[in-house]
């Protein structure tokens, strides 16, 4: 019985009728057996469940290169289950789970655990990120090869939250991951220049008396790293770029043919350090919110491709870590359920990007960076059916208490934002329908196990 249900859930056929593909002309998409069986006009339903999608935009499922799922270790902040529910609702079909869990994801065992939890949850593809150094301590390389060879097939490595600041260690990491087509995702933050730093260093920090976090602390590391990447011929990814100066360095590096990619968070595309005047720790984040000039530069860079991808840096925290003094508060903001809307607001409604550009920055490019073969694909016949339907005309007011993530630390709380994810198809299965969670995808092996368990 259970077996039949699972099969029905996974192999159902869906006809998406009249969706604007990447914001272009309206067409139909027939989904069957996890793939796009047909794309065209006036397709026959042929028994498939029909989803009327007039006025909706069809996009490839979003891929987050930067998510904190907190499990194992801080299940009071988020679990793989709750975080991936939030991801599905936000329009994601894959997330990269950052390594700063407890224990740190620095061994094959931990990344396989996270990977398995992701498969058991079944809401999105969970791709563990491996730590670069043992315990994120910045002293000794973690067993990168073992993580790459594990069932989790790790390709992205990062000490995110902590910068690999030792130049020799960074050089070795960049070189080593070439052996398995890996990428080092650097959290660019010179530690000595940011000791005790609380917010962007500038006019606002001067008035507030909060220790400044200079832009140069980020830019100097990026400058060093792109030169290292060039020297050893490796692939570098720069996490959450936050300053106009960083953009210039990355633009220069790309111009020289250096193999560097970069990411920007939705919050850095919209918010500035002016918000810190409230001393409300919901605005405390690493890297910090910067100035309006930085926001403008980041938007321009995302539009022209200097910055390749949007990464949420979704960082849920229990409320007690934010209901305190600014200096005591944890850094980080939730982002999975607001990313699409914030990017639509900051990039599409400003005319800087089209939905096709959005698909590149939130799906195609991040899938490429993470080497996810079945994500970020074109919406064409025969391709994996990782698809989202978005209502671009919708308007909604952000209410953190109504979110699927356990984190209530959304800096967008109370804001009215455009765009709503109406449906998310993950491997052809609707994890989200009518803007609400549906059911998770069941992997064949797990489905069989569930069936067996039911039979017993």
Partner 1 sequence: MKHLLSTENLSLANAIRILDTAEEMAAVGDREVKKLPALRGRTVVNLFFEDSTRTRISFEAAAKRLSADVINFAAKGSSVSKGESLKDTAQTLSAMGADAVVIRHWASGAPHRLAATDWIDAAVINAGDGTHEHPTQALLDAFTMRRHWSKLAGLSSTGADLKGMRVAIAGDVLHSRVARSNVWLLRTLGADVTLVAPPTLLPIGVESWPCRVSYNMDETLEKGVDAVMMLRVQGERMNASFFPSTREYSRRWGFDDTRLRALDSLGLKDTIIMHPGPMNRGLEISAAAADSPRSTVLAQVRNGVSVRMAALYLLLSGDTREPAATPAATPDAAYSNAAYSTKESH
Residues that bind partner 1 (CB under 8 A): 198, 201-212, 214, 278-280, 320, 323-328
Q: How many CB atoms lie within 10 A of CB 227?
A: 15
- Minimum distance of partner 1 from residue 276's CB (angstroms): 9
CA 243 to CA 45: how far, in whole Å?
Answer: 50
Going through 332-402 in order, the beta strands assigned E by DSSP cover: 387-397
Cα 344 from Cα 358, distance rounded (Å): 8
Q: Which of 35, 119, 94 is nearest to 362 (CA)?
A: 94
User: Using CA atoms, how far apart are residues 204 and 198, in angstroms rounded to an integer?
Assistant: 12
Distance CA 327, CA 325 (A): 6
Taking the complex as a whole, the smallest distance from the CB of residue 195 to partner 1 amounts, in Å, to 9
Measured from the CB of residue 104, what is the shortest distance to partner 1 in angstroms? 21
The residue among 180 and 279 lying less far from partner 1, judged by its C-beta, is 279
Q: Is 166 a catalytic residue?
A: no
Minimum separation from the CB atom of position 202 to partner 1 (A): 5
Partnered with residue 64 across adjacent β-strands are: 95
Nearer to partner 1, 330 or 447 (CB): 330
The number of beta carbons lying within 10 Å of the beta carbon of residue 252 is 13
Catalytic residue among 308, 313, 357, 391: 313
The two three-digit tokens of residue 39, written as one number: 């794309």
Q: Give 35's strand partners.
A: 32, 384
Alpha-carbon span 438 to 275, nearest angstrom: 36
List C-alpha distances in Å: 194 to 200, 218, 288: 10, 9, 11
Which one, 224 or 322, has the nearer CB to partner 1?
322
| DSSP secondary structure, 268-313, as one string | GGT--GGGGGG--GGG--SSPP--HHHHHHHHHHHHHTSS-EE---
* Residue (64 or 273) nearer to partner 1, CB: 273
CA distance 339 to 417: 10
Q: Compute the distance between CA of residue 302 and CA of residue 182 in angstroms, rounded to an integer.
A: 23
Phi, psi (5° rounding) for residue 403? -85, 160
Could you tell me the smallest distance in angstroms from the CB atom of residue 295 to partner 1? 18
Nearer to partner 1, 219 or 391 (CB): 219
Alpha-carbon distance 368 to 266, whole Å?
20
Neighbours of 434 (CB within 10 A): 10
Annotated catalytic sites, by residue? 313
């Amino acid at each position: 019985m259970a077996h039949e249900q699972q099969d029905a859930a996974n192999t159902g056929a869906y006809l998406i009728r009249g969706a604007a593909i990447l914001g272009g002309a309206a067409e139909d998409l027939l989904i069957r057996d996890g793939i796009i069986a047909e794309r065209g006009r006036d397709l026959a339903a042929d028994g498939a469940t029909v989803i009327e999608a007039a006025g909706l935009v069809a996009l490839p499922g979003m891929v987050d290169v930067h998510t904190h799922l907190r499990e194992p270790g801080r299940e009071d902040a988020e679990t793989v289950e709750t975080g991936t529910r939030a991801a599905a609702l936000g329009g994601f079909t894959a997330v990269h789970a950052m390594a700063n869990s407890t224990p740190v994801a620095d061994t094959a065992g931990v990344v396989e655990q996270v990977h398995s939890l992701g498969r058991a949850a079944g809401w999105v593809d969970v791709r563990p990120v491996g730590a670069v150094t043992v315990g994120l301590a910045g002293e000794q390389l973690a067993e990168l090869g073992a993580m790459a060879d594990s069932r989790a097939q790790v390709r992205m490595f990062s000490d995110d939250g902590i910068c690999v600041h030792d130049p020799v260690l960074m050089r070795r990491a960049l070189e080593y991951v070439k052996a398995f087509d890996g990428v080092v995702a650097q959290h660019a933050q010179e530690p000595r220049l940011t000791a005790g730093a609380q917010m962007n260093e500038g006019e606002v920090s001067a008035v507030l008396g909060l220790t400044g976090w200079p832009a140069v602390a980020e830019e100097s590391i990026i400058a060093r790293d792109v030169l290292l990447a060039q020297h050893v011929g490796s692939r570098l990814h720069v996490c959450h770029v936050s300053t106009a100066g960083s953009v210039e360095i990355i633009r220069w590096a790309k111009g020289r043919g250096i193999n560097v990619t970069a990411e920007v968070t939705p919050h850095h595309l919209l918010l500035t350090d002016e918000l810190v005047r409230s001393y409300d720790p919901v605005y405390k984040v690493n890297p910090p919110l910067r100035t309006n000039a930085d926001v403008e530069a980041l938007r321009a860079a995302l539009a022209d491709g200097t910055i390749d991808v949007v990464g949420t840096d979704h960082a849920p925290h229990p409320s007690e870590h934010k209901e305190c003094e600014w200096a005591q508060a944890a850094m980080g903001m939730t982002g999975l359920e607001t990313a699409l809307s914030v990017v639509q607001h900051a990039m599409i409604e400003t005319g800087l990007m089209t939905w096709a550009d959005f698909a590149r920055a939130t799906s195609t490019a991040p899938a490429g960076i993470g080497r996810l073969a079945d994500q970020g694909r074109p919406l064409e016949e025969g391709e994996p059916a990782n698809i989202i339907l978005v209502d671009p005309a919708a308007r909604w007011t952000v209410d953190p208490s109504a979110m699927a993530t356990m984190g209530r630390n959304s800096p967008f709380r109370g804001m009215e934002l455009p765009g709503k994810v109406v449906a998310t198809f993950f491997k052809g299965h609707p994890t989200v329908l009518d803007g609400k969670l549906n059911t998770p995808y069941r992997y064949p092996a797990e489905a069989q196990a569930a069936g067996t368990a039911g039979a017993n």
